[in-house]
Chain A
Amino acid sequence: MKLKVVDTNRCVGCQNCMFACSRRNGNAGLSNSSIGVKSDGGMENGFKVIVCRACENPPCARACPTDALTPQKGGGVKLNKSKCIGCKACQEACIIDAVFWDEEHSKPVICIQCGYCVDYCPHDILELVD
């Protein structure tokens, strides 16, 4: 299953998806969110919704010097936190900025395509697809 952005024009910028993503681990706030909603050069222009596209040959994993990111069958990556040295090479490698950063722990936050956020998008922008 992959997370898909269906229609950014419906996005109202509420960021409930971001809060949901962070809440998955039980805490509140935004430090642990792997989805990003920001205005497209001012709110008058609407929003960009940035999610991991679950690449089949993920550049983030290729860029990791310590093999902390393992490509998954069907796309996307899995992070082994104990191997990660927080060098941000993965973040540099992702040209859509879908590798987010947990500043509290200095580790990347990458979508695991769980779809938890989908239920908290009140305006049908996100979908989990095969």
Chain B
Amino acid sequence: MNKNGVLKKILYINLSTKSYRVINRKELFEKNIGGTGVASKLLLEECPKNINPFDKESPIIFAIGNLTGVFPLASKTVSMFKSPLTKNLGESHAGGRSAIAMRMADIGAIVIKGKSDIPVYLAIYGNKVYFRDATTLWGMQSSEVVGKIIRNKEEYAGLRTIMRIGRAGEEKIPYASVITETYRHFGRLGLGAVFGSKKLKGIMIAGKHEIPIDNSKEYRKIYDEIFHQATSSEMMKKYHDLGTPQNVLPLNELKALPTRNLQSSYFETAEGISGESFAMEHLGRRLACSHCPVACIHIAALREPYDNEPYFYKTSMISYDYELIYSLGTMLGISKPKNVLRLIQEVEETGIDGMSTGVILAWATEASKKGIITEQQLDGVSLEWGNYKEYVKAIENIIEKPNEFYEDLSLGVYHTSRKYGGEDFALTFGRNEMPGYHTGPAAYIGFMIGARHSHLDSGGYSIDQKILTKQNLQPEDIVDKLMEEECWRQILSSLVICFFARKIYSEEIVTRSLKVLGLEYDMDEIKKLGEKIYKRKMEFKFREGFDFQNIEIPDRIIETKSPTIEFDKKFLKKALKYAEEKFKNNDVINK
């Protein structure tokens, strides 16, 4: 069968010389199927060992998968880079229109190196790259305005992606994000700062390509199966109805919702900022990523009066998700949806990762209460649980860095707590601020051993809730389960399938879908490929100094009672030791 629909082109862009070339590497996309598989290979090729993430030779890589634009729900773009936050593997995924725009521009992956002398944004039409002067956009207050300007300046409305950074990225804050289509993000691990270090303000990609399919009958048949599942399954309906904030109440009931820097795992006023409350009080619109029928993106309408003039209002449209309600809500003791929305708006405008920012501010609030940091260091900001106005000021200070303390805070909670103290309640794993799941040991072991230190690496919270609420598992069993899941997720993220659709894209559907494009894999082969990609990512991590033995565990996660099985540091260290042995013995998936 011919493989005309398989991705092949890689766009190599050099910002120093303002030049580019397109290279056909079909074999790379056949053997690695796309996304994480291709990006990890390119990262090992392009990223020099131990490089400073802000060095001009430090690469930015984007990759999509072979199913993108062919089947629904395969609409994520994988970015890889060296993280300025963890100084190790940077991998962040975003949806919006990014993946479809790349596919329609007939580009499988993009590698960006070098550093521009002036601020630029890239306009990519099909396989042509234009370097646009972005001097006037640099330093602009709101990333949303930057998006509007590029939107009006460039063509192909509806068939393009517009990625951009805010002031946080320009300032190289190591947890700065890249925003795409206003409401989606390459949120974690600091891709925005790497953009900023290259004076790259944004990237617009557009195209309208055709993907030839040989066996149209089989193609439509599988398409309809997937589409039917996506539009009729109960799980997808939940993502559509309330979105990820549906998790607020169940996690709170379980006593797994980190509150006030995890001094508690139960937020007494969670009802007020539940998915249900947000929907009833503020939901203004739902959005979908391109080629996804679910529409899980929830946009709130926030109407606010101006203080100085009667009957004068502004209405802002702000997207909200569970992770932000956790980090900028419960972690900071904020009980009203509109105040959470105001904080979300602040992180959106400045282009900073809302998850890291919330965890950092929660640590700073507790540190201030404990006298570890002084009023003078806080520079007139009075951090108090629930006081969103002061938190807005603190975020501005993280960007503007008026004194040494904020300079430190802008480098993350790991850095700051190692300098000022309070390590025991600095909620960071592998230097990445933690996600919102105090569900039990599997979640934490997942944060520690996962390649991205993300809850999405292996979904440990799910093991906690589904298994550990009913039975005990040994640390070794948990590690086995997490690694097996992380291996399979490499297949999903290589095909850039949204993890929300992981139950739809079973091994069978994955292999049948690939066959439509002429890529023959049996189930065993596809599983082995997942393991291979996982090991490749870990190879990069070890190369850059990752060591299971050096993972630091904050006392707080032990002190605040686990809602599932009880565990201590010994339990977690046993898991780390076992994980290390599995790599040493080349036994990632138990044979």
Binding site for B on A (CB under 8 A): 12-16, 19, 22-23, 26-32, 36-39, 41-44, 46, 101-104, 120, 122-123
**Interface contacts beyond A28-B5, A44-B317: sample of 13 additional A-B pairs, CB < 8 Å, sorted by A:** A14-B294, A19-B291, A27-B211, A27-B213, A28-B210, A28-B213, A29-B211, A38-B158, A42-B148, A43-B181, A46-B285, A101-B208, A122-B293
Q: Which residue of B lies closest to A45 (CB)?
A: B317
Q: Is the CB of A43 within 8 A of B100?
A: no
Q: Which of B170-178, B216-224, B383-391, B574-582 contacts A (4 or more CB under 8 A)?
A: B216-224
**Interface size, B (range):** 35 or more
Nearest residue in A to B232 (C-beta to C-beta)? A122
- Is B285 within 8 A of A14, CB to CB? no
Contact A30 B159 (CB under 8 A): yes
Q: Which residues of B contact A102 (CB under 8 A)?
A: 210
Would you give 6 A-B contacts (Cβ < 8 Å), ordered by A? A15-B290, A19-B72, A27-B210, A28-B5, A28-B69, A32-B210
In the complex, B381 has a CB within 8 A of chain A: no
* Least CB distance, B425 to chain A, in whole angstroms: 38
Q: Which of B216, B285, B299 contacts A27 (CB 8 A)?
A: B216
CB of A13 within 8 A of CB of B287, answer: yes
Taking a contact as CB atoms closer than 8 A, the residue among A14, A27, A29, A103 that contacts B289 in the complex is A14
Q: Which residue of B lies closest to A100 (CB)?
A: B208
Per-residue contact bits, chain B 53-78, to A (CB 8 Å; 1 contact, 0 not): 00000000000000001101000000
Q: Which residues of B are interface residues toward A (Cβ below 8 A)? A: 5, 69-70, 72, 100, 103-104, 147-148, 151, 157-159, 181-183, 208-213, 216, 219-220, 223, 227, 231, 285-295, 297, 299, 317
- Contacting A28 at CB < 8 Å: which of B219, B293, B299? B219
Cα of A46 to Cα of B151 in the assembled complex, Å: 15
- Chain A residues lying within 8 Å of B103, measured Cβ to Cβ, are 29
Q: Are B210 and A43 in contact (CB under 8 A)?
A: no
**Contact status A23-B220, CB under 8 Å:** yes
A29-B104, A36-B158 known; A13 vs B213 contact (CB < 8 Å): no
Chain A residue numbers with a CB within 8 Å of B148 are 42
Q: Which residues of A contact B210 (CB under 8 A)?
A: 22, 27-32, 102, 104
Q: Smallest CB–CB gap between B348 and chain A, Å?
A: 11
- Say yes or no: A103 contacts B208, CB within 8 Å: yes
| Contact among A15, A38, A46, A103 with B291 in the assembled complex (CB-CB below 8 Å) | A15
Closest 9 CB pairs of A and B: A38-B158, A26-B216, A14-B288, A44-B317, A12-B295, A31-B210, A28-B211, A122-B293, A29-B211
- Structural contact, A26 and B299, CB atoms closer than 8 A: no
Q: Distance (Å) between the CB of B238 and the closest chain A CB?
A: 15
| Minimal Cβ-Cβ distance residue in B for A19 | B291
Contacts A12-B287, A44-B299; is A29 near B69 (CB within 8 Å)?
yes
A41 CA / B299 CA spacing, docked (Å) = 16
A-chain residues with CB within 8 Å of residue B291 when the two chains form the complex: 14-16, 19
Asked whether, in the complex, the Cβ of A30 is within 8 Å of the Cβ of B287, the reply is: no
Q: Which of B147, B158, B159, B295 contacts A42 (CB 8 A)?
A: B147
Measured CA separation A101–B209 after assembly (Å): 11
* CB <8 Å contact, A14 and B216: no
Residues from chain A with Cβ under 8 Å of B289 in the complex = 14
Q: How close is A126's CB to chain B, nearest CB, in angstroms?
A: 13
A37 touches B208 (CB 8 A): no
Once the chains are docked, how many angstroms separate the CA of A14 from the CA of B230? 13
- Chain A neighbourhood of B182, CB < 8 A: 42-44
Inter-chain contact B288/A26, CB cutoff 8 Å: no
B97 to chain A, nearest CB (A): 8
- Considering the chains assembled together, what is the distance between the CA atoms of A21 and B413 in angstroms? 50
Chain B residues with CB below 8 A from A39, complex form = 157-158
B227 / chain A contacts, CB cutoff of 8 Å: 16, 120
CA distance in complex: A56, B554 (Å): 72
| Residues of chain B within 8 A of A120, CB atoms compared | 227, 293
Chain A nearest CB from B465 CB (Å) reads: 29
- Distance in angstroms between the alpha carbons of A112 and B552 in the assembled complex: 63
Distance (Å) between the CB of B294 and the closest chain A CB?
8
- Name the residue in A16, A29, A41, A120 with the highest tally of chain B Cβ atoms < 10 Å from its Cβ: A29
- Chain A: minimal CB distance from B572 (Å): 42
Shortest C-beta distance, A91 to chain B (Å), equals 14
Chain B residue, CB-CB nearest to A14: B288
CB distance from B94 to the nearest CB of A (A): 14
| A79 CA to B219 CA, complexed, in Å | 26
With A and B bound together, what is the CA distance between A93 and B157 in angstroms? 19
Measured between beta carbons, the chain B residues less than 8 angstroms from A41 are 151
A121 closest partner in B (C-beta): B293
- CB pair A30–B209 under 8 Å, yes or no, is yes
The answer to whether B209 and A104 have CB atoms under 8 Å apart is yes
Q: Is the CB of A37 within 8 A of B70?
A: no
CA distance A101 to B159 in the complex (A): 13
Q: How far is the CB of A8 from chain B (nearest CB, A)?
A: 12
Residue of B nearest to A105 (CB): B210
